[in-house]
Amino acid sequence: MSADAEWLISMLSTEYDLRPPRSMAAEAKYLSNPNSVLLHDKAGIAIGHAALIRLGSDLELVCVVIAPEKRGTGLSHHLIQEVLAKRSGRGRVLCWTRSRSLASTLLVAGFERRSWPGFTMALRVLADRTLRVLRQLFGLHFGRLWHQTLHLGQYNLYVLE
Protein backbone atom coordinates (compact mmCIF):
# COMPACT_ATOMS: atom_id res chain seq x y z
CA MET A 1 0.00 0.00 0.00
CA SER A 2 2.87 2.42 0.61
CA ALA A 3 3.94 2.15 -3.06
CA ASP A 4 0.38 3.10 -4.07
CA ALA A 5 0.36 6.04 -1.66
CA GLU A 6 3.77 7.13 -2.97
CA TRP A 7 2.45 6.97 -6.54
CA LEU A 8 -0.61 9.07 -5.62
CA ILE A 9 1.55 11.63 -3.81
CA SER A 10 3.83 11.91 -6.86
CA MET A 11 0.83 12.40 -9.16
CA LEU A 12 -0.80 14.97 -6.88
CA SER A 13 2.51 16.82 -6.57
CA THR A 14 2.73 17.39 -10.31
CA GLU A 15 -0.95 17.83 -11.23
CA TYR A 16 -1.87 21.31 -10.01
CA ASP A 17 -5.52 20.93 -11.05
CA LEU A 18 -5.92 18.33 -8.28
CA ARG A 19 -5.85 18.66 -4.51
CA PRO A 20 -2.51 18.91 -2.72
CA PRO A 21 -0.91 15.68 -1.47
CA ARG A 22 -1.07 14.74 2.19
CA SER A 23 1.11 12.48 4.32
CA MET A 24 1.86 8.90 3.32
CA ALA A 25 -0.45 7.59 6.07
CA ALA A 26 -3.28 9.94 5.06
CA GLU A 27 -3.01 8.95 1.38
CA ALA A 28 -2.90 5.24 2.26
CA LYS A 29 -6.09 5.67 4.31
CA TYR A 30 -7.68 7.67 1.46
CA LEU A 31 -6.88 4.88 -1.02
CA SER A 32 -8.51 2.29 1.25
CA ASN A 33 -11.81 4.21 1.16
CA PRO A 34 -14.53 2.09 -0.49
CA ASN A 35 -15.38 4.98 -2.87
CA SER A 36 -11.82 5.10 -4.18
CA VAL A 37 -10.52 3.19 -7.21
CA LEU A 38 -6.86 2.51 -7.92
CA LEU A 39 -5.92 0.72 -11.12
CA HIS A 40 -2.70 -1.28 -11.46
CA ASP A 41 -0.84 -2.60 -14.48
CA LYS A 42 0.10 -6.28 -14.85
CA ALA A 43 3.23 -5.70 -12.77
CA GLY A 44 1.15 -4.32 -9.88
CA ILE A 45 2.21 -0.69 -10.39
CA ALA A 46 -0.46 1.99 -9.89
CA ILE A 47 -1.52 3.63 -13.16
CA GLY A 48 -4.85 5.33 -12.46
CA HIS A 49 -6.97 6.69 -9.65
CA ALA A 50 -10.39 8.27 -9.09
CA ALA A 51 -12.68 8.71 -6.11
CA LEU A 52 -16.19 9.75 -5.20
CA ILE A 53 -16.91 12.07 -2.28
CA ARG A 54 -20.28 12.99 -0.84
CA LEU A 55 -21.61 16.51 -1.39
CA GLY A 56 -24.94 16.50 0.43
CA SER A 57 -27.20 13.98 -1.30
CA ASP A 58 -25.00 13.97 -4.42
CA LEU A 59 -21.51 12.69 -5.18
CA GLU A 60 -18.54 14.43 -6.72
CA LEU A 61 -16.03 12.60 -8.89
CA VAL A 62 -12.65 13.87 -7.75
CA CYS A 63 -8.97 13.26 -8.17
CA VAL A 64 -9.16 11.57 -11.57
CA VAL A 65 -5.58 10.91 -12.63
CA ILE A 66 -3.85 8.56 -15.06
CA ALA A 67 -0.09 7.95 -15.12
CA PRO A 68 1.40 10.14 -17.89
CA GLU A 69 2.80 7.16 -19.80
CA LYS A 70 -0.66 5.52 -19.89
CA ARG A 71 -2.65 8.56 -21.06
CA GLY A 72 -4.35 8.27 -24.41
CA THR A 73 -4.79 4.49 -24.13
CA GLY A 74 -8.47 4.46 -23.11
CA LEU A 75 -7.66 3.66 -19.51
CA SER A 76 -9.75 6.60 -18.26
CA HIS A 77 -12.92 4.95 -19.62
CA HIS A 78 -12.24 1.84 -17.54
CA LEU A 79 -11.39 3.96 -14.48
CA ILE A 80 -14.59 6.00 -14.72
CA GLN A 81 -16.71 2.85 -15.14
CA GLU A 82 -15.13 1.28 -12.06
CA VAL A 83 -15.61 4.32 -9.86
CA LEU A 84 -19.21 4.82 -11.06
CA ALA A 85 -19.95 1.20 -10.11
CA LYS A 86 -19.34 2.29 -6.50
CA ARG A 87 -22.12 4.85 -6.83
CA SER A 88 -24.83 2.26 -6.07
CA GLY A 89 -27.63 4.53 -7.24
CA ARG A 90 -26.94 7.36 -4.78
CA GLY A 91 -27.84 10.77 -6.22
CA ARG A 92 -26.22 12.67 -9.04
CA VAL A 93 -22.52 12.57 -9.77
CA LEU A 94 -20.84 15.88 -10.52
CA CYS A 95 -17.38 16.50 -11.90
CA TRP A 96 -15.56 19.74 -12.62
CA THR A 97 -12.69 19.55 -15.06
CA ARG A 98 -10.80 21.62 -17.57
CA SER A 99 -9.25 18.55 -19.19
CA ARG A 100 -10.61 17.94 -22.69
CA SER A 101 -9.73 14.24 -22.54
CA LEU A 102 -11.52 13.75 -19.20
CA ALA A 103 -14.50 15.73 -20.52
CA SER A 104 -14.67 13.39 -23.51
CA THR A 105 -14.54 10.34 -21.24
CA LEU A 106 -17.30 11.76 -19.04
CA LEU A 107 -19.56 12.40 -22.02
CA VAL A 108 -19.06 8.81 -23.24
CA ALA A 109 -19.95 7.60 -19.72
CA GLY A 110 -23.29 9.43 -19.88
CA PHE A 111 -22.47 12.73 -18.18
CA GLU A 112 -23.93 15.96 -19.56
CA ARG A 113 -22.19 19.32 -19.57
CA ARG A 114 -24.08 21.82 -17.45
CA SER A 115 -23.56 25.45 -16.60
CA TRP A 116 -25.30 25.40 -13.19
CA PRO A 117 -25.56 22.65 -10.55
CA GLY A 118 -28.66 24.16 -8.89
CA PHE A 119 -28.91 26.59 -5.99
CA THR A 120 -28.54 24.11 -3.12
CA MET A 121 -25.60 22.33 -4.75
CA ALA A 122 -23.98 25.67 -5.59
CA LEU A 123 -24.06 26.56 -1.87
CA ARG A 124 -22.55 23.18 -0.93
CA VAL A 125 -19.84 23.55 -3.56
CA LEU A 126 -19.09 27.10 -2.41
CA ALA A 127 -18.64 25.88 1.18
CA ASP A 128 -16.49 22.93 0.06
CA ARG A 129 -14.30 25.08 -2.18
CA THR A 130 -13.87 27.69 0.54
CA LEU A 131 -12.53 24.96 2.85
CA ARG A 132 -10.21 23.73 0.08
CA VAL A 133 -8.83 27.24 -0.42
CA LEU A 134 -8.23 27.61 3.32
CA ARG A 135 -6.46 24.22 3.43
CA GLN A 136 -4.24 25.28 0.55
CA LEU A 137 -3.46 28.61 2.23
CA PHE A 138 -2.62 27.05 5.58
CA GLY A 139 -0.73 24.22 3.85
CA LEU A 140 1.36 26.81 2.00
CA HIS A 141 0.31 25.49 -1.42
CA PHE A 142 0.42 28.93 -3.00
CA GLY A 143 1.50 27.74 -6.46
CA ARG A 144 -1.40 25.30 -6.67
CA LEU A 145 -3.87 27.88 -5.36
CA TRP A 146 -2.60 30.45 -7.88
CA HIS A 147 -2.84 27.90 -10.72
CA GLN A 148 -6.41 26.90 -9.84
CA THR A 149 -7.50 30.52 -9.40
CA LEU A 150 -5.89 31.56 -12.68
CA HIS A 151 -7.75 28.80 -14.57
CA LEU A 152 -11.03 29.00 -12.64
CA GLY A 153 -13.06 30.05 -15.69
CA GLN A 154 -11.84 27.03 -17.66
CA TYR A 155 -13.37 24.41 -15.38
CA ASN A 156 -16.57 22.91 -16.77
CA LEU A 157 -19.28 21.05 -14.89
CA TYR A 158 -20.40 17.57 -15.96
CA VAL A 159 -23.37 15.85 -14.33
CA LEU A 160 -24.59 12.25 -14.38
CA GLU A 161 -28.18 11.91 -13.20
The string of pLDDT tens digits covering residues 87-135 is 877 788 999 898 899 999 999 999 999 988 777 777 777 777 777 778 7
In order of 62, 79, 81, 89, the CA distances from 74 in angstroms are 18, 9, 12, 25
What are the sequence ranges of the domains in the chain?
Answer: 2-160
* Residues found in the chain: 161
Using CA atoms, how far apart are residues 35 and 37, in angstroms rounded to an integer?
Answer: 7
Radius of gyration of the chain (CA): 15
- CATH 3.40.630.30 at 2-160, yes or no: yes
The string of pLDDT tens digits covering residues 33-58 is 999 999 999 999 999 999 998 888 88
Q: What pTM, to 2 d.p., does this model score?
A: 0.82
